[in-house]
Amino acid sequence: MLSQAAIRSEQRPRLTAADGTEIDLPESVFQVLRQVVHILAQGDGVSIVPVHKELTTQQAADILNVSRPYLIALLDKGQIEYSRTGKHRRIQFGNLLAYKRKRDQERREQLAELTRLSEELGGYQ
Beta bridge partner(s), residue 14: 24
**The model's pTM:** 0.65
Instruction: Please report, as a single letter, which amino acid is at residue 75.
Output: L
Domain containing 113 equals 54-120
Please check whether residue 57 is in contact with residue 71, taking contact to mean a CB–CB distance below 8 angstroms.
Answer: yes
pLDDT at site 120: 87
For 92, the enclosing helix (H) or strand (E) is strand 88-92
pLDDT at site 7: 47
**Within-domain flag for 111:** yes
Non-local CB neighbours of 84 within 8 Å, separated by 6+ positions: 90
Same domain, 70 and 36: no
Q: How many domains does the chain have?
A: 2
Non-local CB neighbours of 23 within 8 Å, separated by 6+ positions: 14, 15
Same domain, 111 and 58: yes
Residues of the chain with pLDDT under 70: 1-10, 124-125
